[in-house]
Amino acid sequence: MRKKINLALVGSNFALKGYLPVIENNNNINFKILCSRNVKKIKLTNRYKKPELEKNWKKIFKKNIDLVILAVPPKIQEKIIKFNLKYKKMIILEKPISNNYLKLKRLINLLKKKKIKE
Protein backbone atom coordinates (compact mmCIF):
# COMPACT_ATOMS: atom_id res chain seq x y z
CA MET A 1 0.00 0.00 0.00
CA ARG A 2 1.27 3.45 -0.94
CA LYS A 3 2.10 5.92 1.85
CA LYS A 4 -0.19 8.95 1.92
CA ILE A 5 1.41 12.34 1.37
CA ASN A 6 0.97 14.71 4.31
CA LEU A 7 0.05 18.01 2.71
CA ALA A 8 -0.20 21.64 3.77
CA LEU A 9 -1.97 24.21 1.62
CA VAL A 10 -0.98 27.86 2.05
CA GLY A 11 -3.39 30.52 0.79
CA SER A 12 -7.09 31.13 0.88
CA ASN A 13 -8.32 32.48 -2.44
CA PHE A 14 -7.09 30.30 -5.31
CA ALA A 15 -6.03 27.65 -2.82
CA LEU A 16 -9.65 27.03 -1.89
CA LYS A 17 -11.04 27.36 -5.41
CA GLY A 18 -8.35 25.63 -7.45
CA TYR A 19 -6.37 23.22 -5.30
CA LEU A 20 -8.81 22.13 -2.63
CA PRO A 21 -11.21 20.19 -4.93
CA VAL A 22 -8.26 18.25 -6.38
CA ILE A 23 -6.81 17.52 -2.95
CA GLU A 24 -10.13 16.34 -1.56
CA ASN A 25 -10.60 13.88 -4.43
CA ASN A 26 -7.16 12.27 -4.13
CA ASN A 27 -6.97 9.23 -1.85
CA ASN A 28 -3.15 9.43 -1.73
CA ILE A 29 -3.19 12.78 0.08
CA ASN A 30 -3.62 13.35 3.79
CA PHE A 31 -4.71 17.00 3.89
CA LYS A 32 -3.26 18.01 7.25
CA ILE A 33 -3.01 21.82 7.33
CA LEU A 34 -4.72 24.78 5.70
CA CYS A 35 -2.84 28.00 6.30
CA SER A 36 -4.21 31.48 5.67
CA ARG A 37 -4.33 34.87 7.36
CA ASN A 38 -8.02 35.18 6.45
CA VAL A 39 -9.94 33.46 9.25
CA LYS A 40 -13.32 33.88 7.52
CA LYS A 41 -12.17 31.92 4.48
CA ILE A 42 -10.47 29.29 6.61
CA LYS A 43 -13.71 28.58 8.45
CA LEU A 44 -15.45 27.92 5.13
CA THR A 45 -13.40 24.77 4.73
CA ASN A 46 -14.89 23.03 7.77
CA ARG A 47 -17.19 21.11 5.42
CA TYR A 48 -14.10 19.20 4.16
CA LYS A 49 -11.87 16.74 6.02
CA LYS A 50 -11.22 19.35 8.68
CA PRO A 51 -7.51 20.00 8.32
CA GLU A 52 -5.67 21.76 11.10
CA LEU A 53 -6.09 25.51 10.62
CA GLU A 54 -3.01 27.71 10.88
CA LYS A 55 -2.52 31.46 10.42
CA ASN A 56 1.29 31.52 10.45
CA TRP A 57 2.97 29.77 7.51
CA LYS A 58 6.25 29.44 9.41
CA LYS A 59 4.66 27.00 11.86
CA ILE A 60 3.66 24.46 9.20
CA PHE A 61 7.29 23.68 8.32
CA LYS A 62 7.94 22.38 11.83
CA LYS A 63 5.16 19.80 11.51
CA ASN A 64 4.98 16.37 9.87
CA ILE A 65 4.38 17.62 6.33
CA ASP A 66 5.77 16.08 3.13
CA LEU A 67 4.49 18.62 0.61
CA VAL A 68 3.50 22.29 0.77
CA ILE A 69 1.40 23.89 -1.96
CA LEU A 70 1.74 27.66 -2.15
CA ALA A 71 -1.12 29.68 -3.58
CA VAL A 72 0.14 33.08 -2.46
CA PRO A 73 1.51 36.22 -4.12
CA PRO A 74 5.10 36.10 -5.49
CA LYS A 75 6.47 38.37 -2.75
CA ILE A 76 5.35 35.90 -0.08
CA GLN A 77 6.50 32.85 -2.10
CA GLU A 78 10.05 34.21 -2.11
CA LYS A 79 10.05 34.45 1.69
CA ILE A 80 8.61 30.97 2.10
CA ILE A 81 11.13 29.42 -0.32
CA LYS A 82 14.03 30.96 1.59
CA PHE A 83 12.56 29.92 4.94
CA ASN A 84 12.17 26.36 3.66
CA LEU A 85 15.94 26.03 3.07
CA LYS A 86 16.21 24.98 6.70
CA TYR A 87 13.43 22.36 6.48
CA LYS A 88 13.75 21.16 2.86
CA LYS A 89 10.10 20.29 2.35
CA MET A 90 8.84 19.69 -1.18
CA ILE A 91 6.98 22.74 -2.47
CA ILE A 92 4.64 23.34 -5.38
CA LEU A 93 4.77 26.99 -6.44
CA GLU A 94 2.51 29.34 -8.32
CA LYS A 95 3.69 31.31 -11.34
CA PRO A 96 5.31 33.75 -11.30
CA ILE A 97 7.68 32.80 -8.52
CA SER A 98 8.86 36.40 -8.34
CA ASN A 99 7.82 39.64 -9.97
CA ASN A 100 11.41 40.88 -10.01
CA TYR A 101 13.96 39.28 -12.37
CA LEU A 102 17.03 40.09 -10.24
CA LYS A 103 15.42 38.70 -7.07
CA LEU A 104 14.45 35.56 -8.95
CA LYS A 105 17.97 35.13 -10.30
CA ARG A 106 19.43 35.50 -6.78
CA LEU A 107 16.88 33.03 -5.45
CA ILE A 108 17.74 30.46 -8.14
CA ASN A 109 21.47 30.87 -7.41
CA LEU A 110 20.80 30.42 -3.70
CA LEU A 111 18.84 27.21 -4.36
CA LYS A 112 21.64 25.90 -6.58
CA LYS A 113 24.22 26.75 -3.93
CA LYS A 114 22.19 24.84 -1.32
CA LYS A 115 21.79 21.96 -3.81
CA ILE A 116 18.00 22.16 -3.82
CA LYS A 117 16.60 20.24 -6.79
CA GLU A 118 13.89 21.50 -9.11
Prediction pTM value: 0.84
> Is the pLDDT score of 68 beyond 90?
yes
> Is the pLDDT score of 103 beyond 60?
yes
Query: Is residue 63 a contact partner of residue 32, using CB atoms and an 8 Å limit?
Result: yes
pLDDT value at residue 44: 55
Distance (Å, whole) CA 26 – CA 43: 22
Structural class in CATH, domain 5-113: alpha beta
> Is the pLDDT score of 46 beyond 60?
no
pLDDT per residue as tens digits for the range 7-33: 999 988 777 788 888 887 888 999 899
